[in-house]
Amino acid sequence: MIKAANSLKALYSKMVHVNCLAHAHHRVAETIRGKFNNVDGLVSNVKRVFLKAPSRLEIFKTEAFGISLPPVPIMTRWGTWLEAAFYYSDNFTSIQNSNFRCLPVNITKLESSGLTLLESIEVLNNTRETLKMANGKIGKEIYDKFQNVIKKNKRFKTLAQILKIHSDEVDTMEGIEEDLKVEDLAFFQICSNNIS
């Protein structure tokens, strides 16, 4: 997509291509999964226990009355592994808190259509602030990963500058590398997250 967007830039000089922000969140979620091997093992084992086993599902429903069945993470569905991990966090008393609950929620928000530029950047800032508060060495590594992923998304800086202009925080086009004029900025009110 990046190569295609760069090629299209020659034809559409005012086009601003930004890598999918939902995909950026997903990449961070995958890094989290890689840091918690024990949790990943738990999620995988429980998935295997209930797979094609209706009798086990009935026992679970009887023994754990009122608790929904464990979610089945699908690696191609962004954020589902974290949702499964949070399920276990919520249902095992030995696990108290999780720092990364915002990722699957914010992935879903970023995947929705019709999000304004302001709303998209607010979601991103919410993720940043939540991850910044994460504790310990792993928390810092995850926050650094998020910062790195966003930093590599070179055109995101352009959208952030456009939002500042929309919000009257700045009144200059400085920092916008694209061939845009002030009258072009109105087209950036809605931020499509379906393009990666």
Structure confidence at residue 36 (pLDDT): 92
Burial code (b: 16+ CB inside 10 Å, e: under 16) for 62-93 equals eeeeeeeebbebeeeebbbbbbbbbbbbeeee
Answer yes or no: are the C-beta atoms of 153 and 5 closer than 8 Å. no
Q: Which amino acid is at 34?
A: G
This prediction's pTM: 0.59
Q: Is 67 helix (H, G, I), strand (E, B) or coil?
A: coil
Residue 96 has pLDDT above 50, yes or no: no
Q: Could you tell me the pLDDT band of residue 95, with boundaries at 50, 70 and 90?
A: very low
